[in-house]
Amino acid sequence: MGVPYRGYLTMSDQPIELTRRKALAALGTVGVASAGAGLGTTAFFSDREDFEGNSLTAGSLDLKVDFEEHYADWINNRGGDGSTEADLEVEMGVPQDEADIYLPPGPNADDLAEPISLRFPNNTVAEFKDATSIDAYPDTNDDGIQDFPEGFDICEEDADTPDLLDSDLRTEQYRGEPVVALDDVKPGDFGEVTLSFHLCNNPGFVWFYCNNFSEAENGFTEPELDDPDEDGPGGEPELAEQIEVRAWYDDGDNIYEPGAQAIDVYHLIDTSGTMEENLVEEGTEFEKDDAAIQVGEATNAYLDGLGTTVEQTVAVMAEAGASELLADSTDTDDVDTALGNTAGAGGGTLGAEDFVEGLENALADLVTDDTDDENDDNVIVVYTNGDSRPSDATERANVQAAADNLKNAGVEIKIVAFGNLSPAQQQFHTDISDEVIQVQSGTDQGAVDTSIADAIDEIENNFEVIEGGEQEFFRGTLEDFCNQYEFDPENGSLGFPLDGDVPAPEGGGSADARNCYSASTPHYIGFDWWLPLDHANEIQTDSVQFDLGFYTEQCRHNNGSGQGGGVGDPEIPSRTGTGFGKLSESENQNNGYGDDGEDFDTPNAITSRARNGNGGWEVGIGSGDTPSEDTTDASWSFPLSNVPWSLSYDSSDGTTEFNVGATTVSRTTAASAFDGRLLVQTKADEATVNAENVSLSVDGNSQTINGPTSVQATNDDDGGGRAFNYLVLDTALDGSESFELSGELSVSRQGDFPGGDEGWAVDVSAE
């Protein structure tokens, strides 16, 4: 889904006198579905529903938009409030290393082009942005600066449709106009739009694109024809070739900040007794008195690379509530000293309550009590081993909740895990963090498992570097940007693939995919444009129009490569397996029901069943594992051949029906219960059960299934066991779409079935 903005610009000369306005409001919003700009003579907003006809994805992704626009044209205060407060002092033409704003000419510019280089001796860049802020949504007081009404929820607003242009919450002066609508662009003019987008439902991959790009000469002036760079009648317009643009991942303050940005790093060290078993000094036998020192030494290279703008905290967590804050300093030497003087390890295993306490203390230090540094990048590095995974599911959930609180507050969690980890321990660390580095050199967990040299090597080789400053992902001409990142799904082009804030597997995507963007969190893209100085005549009367937009696809069951020509008509992946669809692989093996299985959530949103047992034929539906809310007897006879069945859900009222032949059962299902996967389970004892020709429609639209569409279970071992096979469809159904899963059922029996429940059965479930 995307919503593009369009705009335009042209040229002129005026004295420099900018006014100063109130402080920039914090951008704490949710959402930007798309944004655009244009340079020329016309501009408009438009809304793009890229998922038209694709109920699966359109219903599960809702992309919203807000923005703040700035324009510096050297005319008194172009802002929406028209105020003329104290003048903002601006020095132009300063050296690059002294400039507060530096916008260079492009690499292919001619010798006349000069950079736009500004310094504000008595003001800040934020104050300059205030003075040049002209349009915003939302803007409650019409001063051109973004602010949010009390109780504002962008996910409930028309922030992804053309209604946004006329919204009462947009700056009044510009209502009904394009977001960028400038009609006299001059050399030295520049502007910026900060676009905020929000995925209101589920994580997604996001692309940033240009669309509907067009240029026009609009006639020729005499100075233009005399300019040696003018192509003349019949030539191409030059404006888009001369406009420079820059796009970057912004933090919401509308300012491109490529230099080092303040970082707060919280080092949380597990000093419980079991950590001693994973740490040794340069490969020798471990000493039981101070495992934490080994951890501290292993981080030296990491600490040295962070720079002087880093505030670091060192804390330990140990069993029986022995957590302790050791140092809080921007001085790396102080931190190293603290790491070298940590208390000796205890004698036991880290408890869940100790882990939770350590994470809660980190949240307080980095966020709750750190009101002076709320724009800093916050990182917590946890040094622990596999024993930090609680064996109790409730305790694991408590640690997960504490970690989620950190993530929701914008804190990045990295884990350095020492020793051999079991698959369950690896999964636990992955679930609670953003990045895991497993450090080990031996094959067995124990005294000679990890040397400090190994630990340092692993951290240097594997840690994603924490870099200050904001990342620029495009720099070039407007023409280049629109040509390279055109939105053309039929030819496989979706725009620039943005790198999100959560690992794809955390959002349900592929392990090898780029990061997805989280839901319920605002994300910001900055877009600068400028016309370098002393480059004028050949672009007189030229115009250029374009849309900027965002396109998103669900993260779950996706690899981020884009659906290309299939946008709007995705395929639903399916697969078959042996065993119970409701059981994990280990549980299937332990019970002899096969060596495969699906870890479906319990309870299911819907479980329906047709079966034959001691009491005769039966059809039922319910939630959880047992379809007991509505059951009814049925009347069939063997063999069953191609009997139609269907499981349908009506999103308008939650009505769910299971039909087998002429028999129907129903219930009401809460939309919030859905998590996407659909299951067809066949069970056979002295019988053959075949569910075939399985199909899926969503909101009345037939879906393409990529994979098997049938599943069969057969058994003939004279009562020795049963056969279980399943078919799974991976969808993005979240309860907001109506759907029908249907197929045909055939059952034959061997003739020597001795009786008993579930002689044969078919379960149809929705996770």
450: domain CATH number? 3.40.50.410
- Give the amino acid at 744: E
What does the pLDDT look like over 661-674, one tens digit per residue? 889 999 887 766 67
Last residue of a domain, one of 566, 597, 627: 566
Q: What is the mean pLDDT of the chain?
A: 69
Q: How confident is the model at residue 318 (pLDDT cuts 50, 70, 90)?
A: low
Q: How confident is the model at residue 387 (pLDDT cuts 50, 70, 90)?
A: confident
Question: CB–CB of 485/478 below 8 Å?
Answer: no
- The pTM of the full predicted model, rounded to 2 decimals, is 0.51
Last residue of a domain, one of 520, 548, 566: 566
Question: CB–CB of 712/649 below 8 Å?
Answer: no
- Per-position DSSP letters for 257-306, written without gaps between them: --S---EEEEEEEE-SGGGGGG-BSTTS---TT-HHHHHHHHTHHHHHTS
β-pairing, 571-578 with 704-706? parallel
Do 201 and 301 have their domain in common? Answer: no
Angle between helices 352-363 and 393-408 (to 10 degrees): 10
Residues 265 and 305: their CA atoms lie apart, in Å, by 12
CA-nearest of 411, 452, 426, 245 to 313 is 411
| Token reading at 195 | 């676009």
Do 540 and 625 have their domain in common? Answer: no
Q: In this model, does residue 710 exceed pLDDT 80?
A: yes
The predicted structure's pLDDT at residue 660: 92
Do 535 and 622 have their domain in common? Answer: no
265-279, 394-408, 444-458, range with greatest mean pLDDT? 394-408
Q: In this model, does residue 14 exceed pLDDT 70?
A: no
Number of domain units in the chain = 3
Residues 552 and 510: their CA atoms lie apart, in Å, by 16
The predicted structure's pLDDT at residue 744: 95
The predicted structure's pLDDT at residue 625: 65
* 47-56, 515-524, 710-719: least confident range: 47-56
The predicted structure's pLDDT at residue 142: 86
Do 486 and 453 have their domain in common? Answer: no
Last residue of a domain, one of 528, 548, 566: 566
Do 205 and 240 have their domain in common? Answer: yes
Residues 670 and 654: their CA atoms lie apart, in Å, by 6
13-17, 23-27, 314-318, 461-465, range with greatest mean pLDDT? 314-318
Do 650 and 527 have their domain in common? Answer: no
254-258, 508-512, 646-650, 681-685, range with greatest mean pLDDT? 646-650
Do 631 and 697 have their domain in common? Answer: yes
Q: In this model, does residue 399 exceed pLDDT 80?
A: yes
User: What ranges make up the beta strands (E) of 111-203?
Assistant: 116-119, 133-137, 180-181, 190-199
Q: In this model, does residue 289 exceed pLDDT 80?
A: no
Q: How confident is the model at residue 397 (pLDDT cuts 50, 70, 90)?
A: very high
Which range marks the domain in which residue 379 is found?
263-462
* 59-63, 294-298, 704-708: least confident range: 294-298
Do 437 and 519 have their domain in common? Answer: no
The predicted structure's pLDDT at residue 340: 44
The predicted structure's pLDDT at residue 563: 61
Unique residue bearing structure tokens 């969808």: 731
Residues 243 and 185: their CA atoms lie apart, in Å, by 10
3-state secondary structure of 480: helix
Residues 681 and 83: their CA atoms lie apart, in Å, by 69
Do 587 and 714 have their domain in common? Answer: yes
Do 506 and 586 have their domain in common? Answer: no
Mean pLDDT of 61-75: 77
The predicted structure's pLDDT at residue 742: 95
The predicted structure's pLDDT at residue 724: 84
Do 450 and 507 have their domain in common? Answer: no
Angle between helices 291-298 and 452-462 (to 10 degrees): 40
The predicted structure's pLDDT at residue 595: 45
CA-nearest of 302, 300, 296, 295 to 279 is 295
Instruction: Classify burial at 406, counting beta carbons within 10 Å of its beta carbon; exposed 0-12, middle 13-18, buried 19 or more.
Output: buried
List C-alpha distances in Å: 525 to 20, 158, 207, 514, 656. Answer: 25, 20, 11, 17, 42
Q: What CATH number is given to the structural domain containing 594?
A: 2.60.120
Q: In this model, does residue 305 exceed pLDDT 70?
A: no
Neighbours of 23 (CB within 10 A): 11
Mean pLDDT of 346-362: 80
The predicted structure's pLDDT at residue 236: 65
Q: What percent of the chain has pLDDT over 90?
A: 11
Question: CB–CB of 474/246 below 8 Å?
Answer: yes
- Give the amino acid at 123: N
Strands of 523-530's sheet, edge to edge? 133-137, 63-72, 190-199, 523-530, 244-250, 472-477
The DSSP code for 369 is T
For residues 435 and 349, the model is more confident at 435
- Per-position DSSP letters for 193-244, written without gaps between them: EEEEEEESSS-EEEEEEEEEEEEE-----HHHHHSTT---TTS---HHHH-E
Q: In this model, does residue 265 exceed pLDDT 90?
A: no
CA-nearest of 117, 133, 122, 125 to 86 is 122
Do 245 and 278 have their domain in common? Answer: no
| Token reading at 22 | 């109130």
Q: How confident is the model at residue 568 (pLDDT cuts 50, 70, 90)?
A: very low
